[in-house]
Amino acid sequence: MAPIHVLVIDDSASVRRAMGEVLSAEAGFAVTTAGDPFIAARLIRERVPDVITLDVEMPRMDGITFLRKLMSQCPVPVVMCSSLVEDGSETLFQALEAGAVDVVLKPRMGVAEHLAEQHERIRDAVRAAARARLPAQRKAGVPAPKLTADAVLAAPSGRAMSRTTEVVVCIGASTGGTEALRQVLEALPANAPGIVVVQHMPQSFTRGFAQRLDSLCAVSVKEAEHGDTVMRGHVLIAPGGGAHTLLERQGARYVVAVREGPLVSRHRPSVDVLFRSAARSAGANAVGVLMTGMGDDGAQGLLEMKQAGAQTIAQDEATSVVFGMPREAIARGAADRVVPLPGIARALLTAAER
């Protein structure tokens, strides 16, 4: 197979050198570098790269502005690599909304050493981006309308209901999942079933991600904490980076447990860990949804949920940014339904009603 041609855009010579060394150390990558967007634009005119890694703070033009111009004129998969996305800042969401498919955190000090330590994360992000289907390349679909409570669920509406849910929805996603999750959660009514989400994100990003979703959605969204109760009208986002998030039953209610553990399916938190815990704790009272992402994390867990009696859903290829995780689940017979992104909110509500 031809190598993945990566254009590294960063004003720091040391970062360009470190990124080049990280990628070039493994077969399958060809690296070109540029010190600012204007140099990058000339290189892109000569040859369009397969993937771009892009800093935010650069001379003459900032990375977000360049990203927007790039996606409007010559869409290329972009992985943001910046210290400005630390702590889930607004810059992270601007980058994702502008079309970036993934984000790699660059610390403010010791950048070269950090990038060397994160070599697998960087390579995985670039590989996934190379396989990403950009919005302009996706099959057009009609956005899902806002779903009213009366249309699907009979329970009274309300943003912060206190009673325990009878059904738990578990969602897993990776590359492309941040925007896909936003579309799904924005389409849910305020009294949707309790939801637990594992989205592969670096540590410290998930709190800001949850806060952003909370400001946009009728349901309440927060970063999960150990012991949180899963309740109707509430979405819990697994904290990124350092631990796994599991579903457990305590009497008549479901709670999340956040526990340290080794990488599972190369991830922590892992979708497989969440889904397997749902199969054990909730069985037929659960709904599993596996969305866009590279690799196979969640595929086996979704199968175990199905075998335990849960309703299971996988996102379809046409609307997945990377059709890796859903493809693996479908191949294993784990999905009851294969659904395009605009229909996932309605599908999970219908499944929960059953």
- Residue 86 binned pLDDT confidence (cut-offs 50, 70, 90): low
CATH of the domain at 28: 3.40.50.2300
For residue 51, the surrounding DSSP H or E stretch is strand 51-54
Shared-domain flag, residues 85 and 132:
yes
Answer whether residue 212 is part of any domain. yes
Q: Please tell me whether residues 231 and 319 are part of one structural domain.
A: yes
| pLDDT mean over 259-263 | 91
Are residues 313 and 196 both part of a single domain?
yes
| Whole-number Å distance between alpha carbons of 292 and 91 | 22
- One domain for residues 194 and 257: yes
Q: What is the pLDDT of residues 186-209, one digit of tens each?
A: 999 999 999 999 999 887 789 999
**Residue 142 domain-assigned?**
no
**Is residue 334 a contact partner of residue 312, using CB atoms and an 8 Å limit?**
yes
pLDDT in tens, 49-63: 999 999 988 878 889
- Predicted model pTM: 0.74
Same domain, 217 and 240: yes
At 85 the pLDDT is 52
**Tokens linked to 164:** 């325990």
The answer to whether residue 164 sits within a structural domain is yes
- Specify if 143 maps to a domain: no
Q: State the residue for tokens 């196979």.
A: 296
Please report, for the domain that includes residue 290, its CATH number.
3.40.50.180
Distance separating alpha carbons of residues 237 and 210, to the nearest angstrom: 6
Does one domain contain both 45 and 66?
yes
User: Which residues lie below 8 Å from residue 117, measured CB to CB, with a gap of 6+?
Assistant: none
74 token code pair: 């010559």
- Distances in Å between the Cα of 246 and the Cα atoms of 6, 98, 236, 238 are 37, 32, 11, 9
297 is catalytic: yes
Rg (CA), the chain: 20
Q: Does residue 216 register a pLDDT over 80?
A: yes
* Tokens, residue 348: 């999970």
Higher pLDDT, 49 or 109: 49
Q: Are residues 66 and 155 in the same domain?
A: no
Q: Is residue 144 part of a domain?
A: no
Q: Does 13 fall in a domain?
A: yes
Q: Residue range 92-115: average pLDDT?
A: 77
How many domains, in total, are found in the chain? 2
Does a structural domain hold residue 45?
yes
Whether 72 sits among the annotated catalytic residues: the reply is no
Residue that is written with structure tokens 């509500």 in the block: 349
Residue from 102, 272, 296, 297 carrying the catalytic annotation: 297
- Average the pLDDT over 147-170 and give the result: 44
Higher confidence at residue 54 or residue 138? 54
Give yes or no: residues 17 and 42 share one domain.
yes
Active site residue: 82, 83, 174, 281, which one?
A: 174
The answer, yes or no, to whether residue 346 has pLDDT greater than 90, is yes
* The two structure tokens encoding residue 200: 């592969």
The least confident of 78-82, 219-223, 274-278, 338-342 is 78-82
**Residue that is last in its domain, among 112, 137, 162:** 137
Give the rounded percent of residues in the chain with a pLDDT score beyond 70. 86
Final residue of a domain: which of 137, 167, 198? Answer: 137
- Domain boundary residue, one of 109, 137, 165: 137
19-29 pLDDT, tens digit per residue, is 899 898 888 99
Query: Do the domain assignments include residue 333?
Result: yes
**H-type helices in the chain, by residue range?**
13-24, 37-46, 63-73, 90-98, 111-117, 119-130, 149-152, 177-186, 205-216, 271-281, 299-307, 325-331, 344-353
In this prediction, residue 159 carries a pLDDT of 32
The answer for 266, left when phi > 0, alpha when psi is -120 to 50, beta otherwise, is left
- Number of CB atoms found within 10 A of residue 55's CB: 25
- Looking at the structure, tell me whether residues 341 and 216 fall in a common domain: yes
pLDDT > 90? residue 224? yes
Could you tell me the end-to-end alpha-carbon distance of the chain, in angstroms, rounded to an integer?
Answer: 46
Catalytic residue among 200, 234, 244, 267: 200
pLDDT computed for residue 238 by the predictor: 97
Do 333 and 243 sit in the same domain of this protein?
A: yes
* Active-site residue flag, 83: no
Pair 117, 234 in one domain: no
| Same domain as 286, residue 310 | yes
Query: Half-sphere exposure of residue 207, counting CA atoms within 13 Å on the CB side?
Result: 9
Q: How far apart are CA 242 and CA 258, in angstroms?
A: 9
Average pLDDT over residues 135-141: 42
Residue 315 has pLDDT above 80, yes or no: yes
Kindly tell me the burial class for residue 327, based on how many C-beta atoms sit within 10 Å of its own C-beta (0-12, 13-18, 19 or more): buried
Residue 144 has pLDDT above 50, yes or no: no
Six-digit token string for 233: 């009208």
How far is residue 26's CA from residue 290's CA, in Å, rounded to a whole number?
Answer: 30
**304 is in which domain, residue-wise?**
149-353
Task: Please say if the pLDDT value at position 138 is more than 70.
Answer: no
The predicted pLDDT at position 60 comes to 82
